[in-house]
Chains A and B, each alone.
Chain A
Amino acid sequence: MAYVGPFNLLLPAGVKQNGSDVFNILDADSGGSATFSVPCAVGGIAPATFWGARTLLEVETHNALTNMTTTQFKAYVDALAITRGRTPVGSITAFKNALIIGDGAVNFFTFLTQQGVAQVVSGL
């Protein structure tokens, strides 16, 4: 598998479930549904209104996320679900339209600041 990145990702909380369902398919490994794990909010104050991740992406997945139309992306995800034996997802429109992909050369927390949010932090 060839990867590119890493990339900084951010997704509105309302789309998190859809994003988890899609990444359950996009991730070549079995744990893709957990991808968006970083709770974020304005000022870092709970509850989380966004969820973030920093991840490598397969070359094909990166191309699908950045260059495909919603219809093309849906076909790509459906085909991948069959190939990988994963649970198919319904609509991917909300996820595809809401996902923010940031340059991985930027520190993740700087990326969050640029998006107007901060991590909701817990203690050790």
Chain B
Amino acid sequence: MIERASWRGGWRRGWLPEHRAAGGAAFSPLSLSPTAWYDPSDISTLFQDSAGTVPVTASGDPVGRMLDKSPLGIHVTQATTAFKPIYTVAGAIKYLLFDGVDDILASAATPFGASIANATVSVAVREIVRQTSGLFALSYTSGAGDSSRWTAACPWVDGNVYFDCGATAAPGRISGAVGVATGADFIASFDNSVANTRQFFRIEKVQIASDASGETVTTAGPLSLGAVNLAGNFGNQRIYGMVAKVGTVMTAGELSNVETWLAAKQGRVL
């Protein structure tokens, strides 16, 4: 009812024209059948405790459970209050603030099954302090030699993005400069596909690095946000949202729509 009235009188925030896919239809990440979708701007998906019994109600609350809005229900949790990101509201913008010390949200292990051969992930993020940071993982346990990694350090302390699928050397790893200053919002997208024999990542819709080799990663760890594992390398960052498609990759059009949709969560047009 409110949205209909708003459509007649002009677009309200959240349904601005830039939030719409090409062709004019309202875009939702749900339309591309995501396998994981986290949206901190939807407070109904956030809980203070890991069991999901105490809802987040105000800026400054810890987040111990964030529901996955995809049909798969890969919810991410954190049972230690010290490790919980903080739900933060700044005007109309809402995000999770990860402290770069110990904060991480993680799913149960291997939420996508025994291996990942094709996946695309897009994340809306702002780096606050440049340090040895992980952004997310679709799988990772621990250690430099961990071949179960499907991870993004974005950026690492040296200003480079490291996108690792199964290894920390080529062809599993591709890297390149993030090219975004600390304190600025950006959208980072990662794609690895055996079917398309490619691996690439892009920042703000601009491809930064790629190769012509897709990797099959035998998974072992959980999906995580805010870091890649509990052993360290936590990101001091804001995360405004994340959309992942695993099993198949996003089309170019889907990825662009997701990136535009995520940038709107930052109050930007991309």
Chain A residues in the interface with B (C-beta under 8 A): 1, 3, 6, 27-32, 34-35, 37-38, 52-56, 107-109, 121-124
Closest CB in chain A relative to B230 CB, distance in Å = 7
- Is B162 among interface residues, defined by CB-CB distance under 8 A? yes
User: Is B62 a contact of A32 with CB atoms below 8 Å?
Assistant: no
User: Is B80 a contact of A32 with CB atoms below 8 Å?
Assistant: yes
User: Is B49 a contact of A123 with CB atoms below 8 Å?
Assistant: no
User: Is A31 a contact of B79 with CB atoms below 8 Å?
Assistant: yes
Known A30-B50, A31-B80; 4 more pairs at CB < 8 Å:
A3-B61, A32-B81, A34-B83, A123-B144
- Is B231 among interface residues, defined by CB-CB distance under 8 A? yes
User: Is A56 a contact of B50 with CB atoms below 8 Å?
Assistant: no
When distances are taken between beta carbons in the complex, the residues of chain A under 8 Å from B84 are: 56
Q: List 7 A-B contacts (CB under 8 A).
A: A29-B81, A30-B79, A31-B83, A37-B80, A52-B101, A56-B81, A56-B84
Task: Please indicate which of the listed interface residues B81, B99, B144, B233 has the most CB atoms of chain A within 10 Å of its own CB.
Answer: B81
When distances are taken between beta carbons in the complex, the residues of chain B under 8 Å from A109 are: 131
When distances are taken between beta carbons in the complex, the residues of chain B under 8 Å from A6 are: 86, 99
- Is B134 among interface residues, defined by CB-CB distance under 8 A? yes
User: Is B60 a contact of A3 with CB atoms below 8 Å?
Assistant: yes
User: Is B80 a contact of A54 with CB atoms below 8 Å?
Assistant: no
User: Is B101 a contact of A54 with CB atoms below 8 Å?
Assistant: yes
Closest CB in chain B relative to A61 CB, distance in Å = 10
Number of interface residues of B (CB under 8 A): 36
Q: In the complex, A18 Cα to B230 Cα: how many Å?
A: 22
Chain B residues in the interface with A (C-beta under 8 A): 48-51, 54, 60-62, 64, 78-84, 86, 99-102, 129, 131-132, 134, 144, 151, 153, 156, 162, 168, 228, 230-233
Q: In the complex, A27 Cα to B101 Cα: how many Å?
A: 18
Given A107-B129, A108-B101, A37–B49 Cβ distance below 8 Å?
A: no
Q: In the complex, A29 Cα to B156 Cα: how many Å?
A: 31
When distances are taken between beta carbons in the complex, the residues of chain A under 8 Å from B82 are: 27, 34-35, 37, 53-56
Closest B residue by C-beta to A4: B60
When distances are taken between beta carbons in the complex, the residues of chain B under 8 Å from A28 are: 49, 81
Contact partner of A34 among B80, B151, B156, B231, CB < 8 A? B80
Contact partner of A124 among B64, B78, B134, CB < 8 A? B134
Q: In the complex, A31 Cα to B51 Cα: how many Å?
A: 11
Closest B residue by C-beta to A23: B82
When distances are taken between beta carbons in the complex, the residues of chain B under 8 Å from A124 are: 132, 134, 144, 151, 153, 156, 162, 168, 228, 233
User: Is A27 a contact of B80 with CB atoms below 8 Å?
Assistant: yes
When distances are taken between beta carbons in the complex, the residues of chain B under 8 Å from A32 are: 80-81
Closest CB in chain A relative to B132 CB, distance in Å = 7
Q: In the complex, A54 Cα to B62 Cα: how many Å?
A: 12
